[in-house]
Structure 1
């Protein structure tokens, strides 16, 4: 059940669950289930993130925009984990630094949306697809109704995915594992999975959780959840972030100044980085608590081409370049790393560099466009070269 402290806070970006009692029953079931992650695993990741904060390691966070339940099968999980490990190995070799890999996996089943409704290709007004944990992407008005039983399916799919990730850890040192992460969005899922540990409460739904641009309101439920758990936490930083707010967020979420506890994931957009980032970095350095700076060059660079959502790799590369330049100019360690939406599949969802238009003949994402393997390697190579 949602804790009393969270219930008293403003909760944004939640679906309109039509059956309150069914939702309450699901929350009770989740509270009785084992945590998906363990306190020891979270401590291991925290140690890796501390190395990143100290400039002794990098981090690569990547995976699907929105995970699908259908991908929670062993072969598919191994494929995604192997792909991320391979990209992290390339970053490790190029930068000659250990690289912590964090997948957008085992829980990225929900998405914030800018509107509660959308229009189908046939012109029908539908509830917006909010991720498999909420509803179905099929353009059918009944399948778009929020179903709380999907939260149980999300738990089961996350458990299978985490089991496969753990098997991939065998014989690997800390900085060669793939840890799990997702946006801490759906309170009826996140709150019941908070568990008491030896070191205090932790989010038992994941290893690393982040708060999105749309839910990082000061005093809101999402920040309160992040404040009260011991997991490494991220916060998305976009063009609307005031420098004073960023500093206050850092103090709220990392009051003890623990290295690696808090990551600011910058998603300003290629044409906004030079305006937005310097005053934020300066104010956090002056009056805030320590943070890891990570570049998300995907979410600020969306556009519509040929009627589909895409991102131009040229803009992604530009944002990475500007991010590193700004951090270096302010004598901050820019190698927190990268946060990318990517896939091992040879999709055509993002516009390649030096290409003005294309046919999106293999567009598979149910939400936002992802980098294919070649494009992911290109972005990582640019980042490493800049270091």
Structure 2
């Protein structure tokens, strides 16, 4: 299969979840402009992430992947970007302290603008319009003009992603993310949280360690391992024309420059589909969502196509089963992959299988069910002798009210207060930090 791959071979395969543009020539013109634009990420950055994920594959690191269910144009701001960045750093510190191993930090950010939908249309009061597929495709407002797919939105996604990446890179490399500032990350952020005291203890331990190293003369301000961090971006590779337009060639290799890591969703993982075909030939780290309908032999076929050279760090399997299904479905998959000798990172997405309608009519997720799926994921891998390599969360660093439960004890009636998601409910800042502390304890057990 690898020998027949080309940058455009995906066009010969059926493509699911693609928008129906009324003006294909306008889409082609936009794609041509993007193809001539600078790459958003470099080949070298993608390879650095792959090397770090190889450590997670071997149980020597832990993948923390999180961010918005869908980025939007309206919510784009420095504050929203930094809130996600800072909470991921805080979670990483907690997990590093608990797991005793490096944490690979990957945001669902700078490209997560498209969402798959269960139906092509949405009907309200007898009126049917195209479904909202994310700001990359169309608008959320329920009117014909907003819901018409517009190719100029692809250009806006590109420039918003570029601005987001610019801010993230400056924060990661300028010293703002230095371990010297680990306590400052807490200021004005979670100090009102019930977890502030726990976080302060860890921050104090980090500072004491740094002070000891400095006193011993084994550290200086030029130590890049302490003064900067590696922070990577990821999104679902859903809109094929956009991803194809941002595909670049590095010597004899191809990679997609829209993000460091791209994943294939559970709705677009067909072995004979265009999404699997496109990503099978690029040199980015790839994620594959593994839902409850996945069969063991089917998974092996997908692994062989997406990672034909069995390269550690190349492929992350992101399981999304649901708390009531994972115990029955995941073990046979893990056993089959182990039997095949496939080198993969196993990561848990405990969000998508645990969505339900609240008494208010809003979609929500229960913190307890999310936590249950993560704990079962860890227990299954421990029983199978494999590595639980990471977690994948839809989350925000802001204090929204979209998921129930947690220490703040959010309930159905609290949801309308700050329900701001454009698509699926996200864990808020307090809830994800609580999750990090619990995970740290579980990983340290």
User: Structure 2 length normalisation: TM-score?
Assistant: 0.83
Conserved 8 A contact 2:90-2:433: no
Displacement of 1:133 = 0.4
The residue that corresponds to 2:164 in the other structure is 161
Aligned-residue offset at 1:299: 0.4
Q: How does 1:27-66 map to 2 (within 5 A)?
A: 27-66=31-70
The match for 2:15 among 2, 6, 11 is: 11
Aligned partner of 1:358 among 399, 403, 413:
413
Gaps spanning 5+ residues in structure 1: where? none
Within the alignment, does 1:152 sit opposite 2:155 as a pair? yes
1:251 touches 1:288 (CA, 8 Å); kept in 2? no
User: In structure 2, how many angstroms separate the alpha carbons of the residues matched to 1:199 and 1:51?
Assistant: 26
Does residue 253 of structure 2 align to residue 200 of structure 1?
yes
TM-superposed CA distance for 1:77, in Å, is: 2.0
Does the 8 Å CA contact 1:91/1:384 hold for their aligned counterparts? yes
The alignment covers a number of residue pairs equal to 384
Residue 50 of structure 1 aligns to a residue in which SS? helix
Q: Give the structure with the higher percent helix.
A: 2
* Alignment of 1:81 onto 2:85: yes
Structure index of larger Rg: 2
Q: State which drifts further: 324-333 or 172-181.
A: 172-181
Q: Equivalents in 1 of 2:118, 2:440: separation in Å?
A: 33
SS of the counterpart of 2:74? helix
Q: 2:367 aligns with which of 313, 322, 331?
A: 313
**In the TM superposition, what are the counterparts of 1:1-387 in structure 2 within 5 Å?**
3-120=7-124, 124-170=127-173, 173=225, 176-198=229-251, 200-287=253-340, 289-305=342-358, 306-334=360-388, 336-353=389-406, 357-360=412-415, 361-387=417-443
Counterpart CA distance in 2 for 1:32 and 1:73 is 27
- 2:395–2:432 Cα contact (<8 Å) kept: yes
Task: Give the Cα–Cα distance (whole angstroms) in 1 for the partners of residues 260 and 8 of structure 2.
Answer: 24
- Using CA pairs below 8 Å that are at least 6 residues apart, which structure has the higher relative contact order? 2
CA–CA separation in structure 1 for the residues paired with 2:442 and 2:233: 27
Give the distance between the partners of 2:75 and 2:81, measured in 1 at CA: 7
Deviation of the 1:177 alpha carbon: 2.4
1:251-294, Cα deviation, whole Å (9 max, x unpaired): 11112121111000000000000111011111111125211000
Distance of 2:350 and 2:126 partners within structure 1: 32
Query: Separation in 1 of the partners of 2:247 and 2:233?
Result: 16
Deviation for aligned residue 1:141: 2.2
**Secondary structure, counterpart of 1:340 in structure 2:** strand
Distance 1:76 1:359, change over 3 A: closer
Cα RMSD (Å) of the superposition?
1.7
